[in-house]
């Protein structure tokens, strides 16, 4: 005899099979995400390449500017002035290697007093006036706004006592002023000029030997006018 089934019995539901389409949905999202990531890195890479190119251009421009500045600094206007003055001195029978001294920030011209002035005088002769005028023109030909021009008069230690020059101070100062006046006549800016008389206080070489005897050749060297072109510091 068959056993009766209990009332209100519901058979268990069979598991629902997932379709292959539903199980692959996550791959679509993953692929979209990877595409976005790839696009992001491509964008970053392209921006980096552009920046690198710009950096190289800017770097090259800076280096070129620095090289030009360094080259410009190494070409001192005093070097060219030295060449011109050397030629001028030779034309006036003055040896430039003996008369010109150049440093980093100055150029000095040492002119023997005997080629400029007669003994005990502060008047420039015709030839010496032309020499000073040519020197002034050489200096004025260069744009040297940061340089001043100092003209110094020097004597030996032999005392002088005349109506016009009571001492070597007046003589050395008057000689410096005579040279300065020629510079002014050639159009050199007076604001850059200075005239100083040092008398016998700054000799190049000793006027006397150890025994107190005069050294005539040294005294001759000490009678001079110095023209110094120096940078303002």
**Could you state, in order of their start, the residue ranges of all structural domains in the chain?**
23-74, 77-231
**In sequence order, what are the residues at sequence separation of 6 or more whose Cβ sits closer than 8 angstroms to the Cβ of residue 231?**
105, 106, 146, 147
pLDDT band at residue 189, thresholds of 50, 70 and 90? very high
Does residue 118 have a pLDDT over 70? Answer: yes
pLDDT digits 0-9 by tens, 6-65: 555 556 555 555 555 555 666 667 777 778 777 777 777 666 655 556 556 656 666 666
pLDDT band at residue 124, thresholds of 50, 70 and 90? very high
**In sequence order, what are the residues at sequence separation of 6 or more whose Cβ sits closer than 8 angstroms to the Cβ of residue 138?**
81, 84, 85, 88
CA 17 to chain centre: 89
**For residue 69, what pLDDT is reported?**
55
**For residue 44, what pLDDT is reported?**
73
Across the chain, the runs of DSSP E, i.e. the strands, are 100-102, 106-112, 147-154, 193-197, 224-231
> Which fold, 77-231?
60s Ribosomal Protein L30; Chain: A; (3.30.1330)
Does residue 183 have a pLDDT over 60? Answer: yes
Which residues make beta-bridge pairs with 148?
A: 230
Quote the pTM value.
Answer: 0.68
């Amino acid at each position: 005899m068959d056993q009766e089934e209990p009332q209100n019995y519901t058979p268990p539901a069979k598991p629902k099979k997932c379709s292959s389409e539903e199980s692959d949905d996550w791959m679509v999202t993953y692929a979209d995400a990877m595409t976005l990531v790839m696009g992001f890195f491509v964008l970053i890479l392209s921006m980096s390449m552009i920046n690198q190119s710009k950096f190289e251009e800017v770097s090259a421009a800076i280096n070129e500017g620095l090289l030009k500045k360094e080259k410009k600094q190494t070409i001192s206007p005093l070097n060219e002035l030295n060449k011109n003055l050397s030629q001028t001195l030779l034309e006036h029978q003055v040896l430039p290697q003996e008369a010109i001294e150049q440093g980093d920030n100055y150029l000095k011209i040492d002119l023997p007093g005997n080629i400029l002035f007669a003994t005990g005088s502060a008047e420039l002769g015709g030839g010496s006036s032309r020499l000073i005028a040519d020197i002034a023109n050489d200096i004025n030909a260069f744009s040297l706004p940061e340089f001043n021009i100092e003209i110094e008069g020097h004597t030996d230690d032999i005392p002088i006592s005349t109506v016009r020059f009571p001492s070597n101070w007046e003589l050395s100062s008057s000689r410096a002023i005579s040279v300065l006046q020629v510079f002014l006549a050639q159009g050199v800016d007076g604001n850059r000029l200075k005239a100083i008389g040092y008398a016998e206080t700054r000799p190049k070489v000793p006027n006397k030997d150890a025994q107190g005897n005069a050294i005539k050749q040294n005294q001759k060297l000490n009678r001079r006018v110095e023209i110094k072109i120096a940078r303002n510091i």
